[in-house]
Chain A
Amino acid sequence: DVQMTQSPSSLSASVGDRVTITCRASQTINTNLNWYQQSPGKAPKLLIYGASTLQGGVPLRFSGSGSGTDFTLTISSLQPEDFATYYCQQSFSIPRTFGPGTKVDIK
Chain B
Amino acid sequence: EVQLVESGGGLVQPGGSLRLSCAASEFTFSSYWMTWVRQAPGKGLEWVANIRPDGNEKYYVDSVKGRFTISRDNAKNSLYLQIDSLTAEDTAVYYCARGGSFFNSWGQGTQVTVSS
Contact = CB atoms under 8 A, between A and B. Distances in A.
Contact of B109 (A43, A87, A94): A43
Interface stretch (B17-25, B43-51, B66-74, B77-85): B43-51
A52 interface: no
B107 A32 contact: no
Contacts, number: 54
Given A96-B47, A98-B45, A98-B47, A89 B102 contact: yes
Contacts of A95: 47, 59-62
Interface majority SS (helix, strand, loop, mixed), chain A: loop
Contacts of A49: 101-102, 104
12 contacts: A36-B103, A38-B45, A43-B106, A44-B103, A44-B106, A49-B102, A50-B102, A95-B47, A95-B60, A95-B62, A96-B47, A96-B101
Given A50-B102, A95-B59, 18 more contacts: A43-B95, A43-B107, A44-B106, A55-B104, A87-B45, A89-B103, A91-B102, A94-B50, A95-B61, A96-B47, A96-B50, A96-B101, A97-B47, A98-B46, A98-B47, A99-B44, A101-B44, A101-B45
